[in-house]
Structure 1
């Protein structure tokens, strides 16, 4: 049975999943991993969702304030067991609903050009490409996306 749990970045299962994510990104990001990793700290994330399948943590994601009206999606990850089952979409939808409840109007995120599965996932979930923002301006291997969740 699938269960989604709202928590924070101190959750031990979230920490475990993020370690798996970082191991994957270290391979796909290659020499650029240290650059990206500096923006992916998980300390003090207050809005984290962890997905459990039969009590096993299999997917996660988080949001953090980006501006007055926007949150940034952080640390989205699905273990191999969770892929192609719609679980990541459920985690993302839970984060969108949480952002709405907090009165945010849009979600933004950055992913790498080499994370082709992630790019396809966000497009499938109606995120649209935007110019690179913040620390990602001018970074050729970064892709930024946005979704308006409230008009």
Structure 2
């Protein structure tokens, strides 16, 4: 049975899963980890959720503060063996609840156009694509937003 666990970015299972996420993104976008390391590095973040099966984490996500009333979802990943079971949606809802508990009103995120399953999931969870033509990565990614 999957259990959600609130922790921080120093948890070794979060580090392990985000390394797997980086590997997966490199395969999808034909890049190297070094190309995006500065954007993907998460340290000192107290808002991480792990999905645990026994002692092993099978999925993760986190949020960081993006403004006075806004958080940004980051580093969402589900081990391929555990996909299509609602785990990612459960993590997003837990992150949203955590953000609401601490007074935030909006959530934003950026995901790649090469990840249509992620875009579809966020859409089902109430996120809408927003124009972010100022973003340097707008050719390869979409930005989404939701009122919490």
Where in structure 1 do 4 or more consecutive aligned residues deviate above 6 Å? none
- Partners of 1:118 and 1:34 lie apart in 2 by 23
- Partners of 1:111 and 1:37 lie apart in 2 by 16
Matching residue of 2:105: 105
Structure 1 residue 32: Cα displacement: 8.1
- Partners of 2:35 and 2:55 lie apart in 1 by 34
Stretch moving more, 57-66 or 33-42: 33-42
**Which runs of 5 or more residues in structure 1 are unaligned?**
none
Matching residue of 1:79: 79
Q: Note the alpha carbon deviations across 1:73-122, whole angstroms, 9 max, x for none.
A: 00000001220001111111100000001100000000111111111111
TM-score (norm 1): 0.91
Matching residue of 1:148: 147
Structure 1 residue 126: Cα displacement: 1.1
Matching residue of 1:25: 25
**Which runs of 5 or more residues in structure 2 are unaligned?**
none
Matching residue of 2:122: 122
Q: CA RMSD in A?
A: 1.7
- Partners of 1:26 and 1:137 lie apart in 2 by 18
Q: Does 1:139 align with 2:138?
A: yes
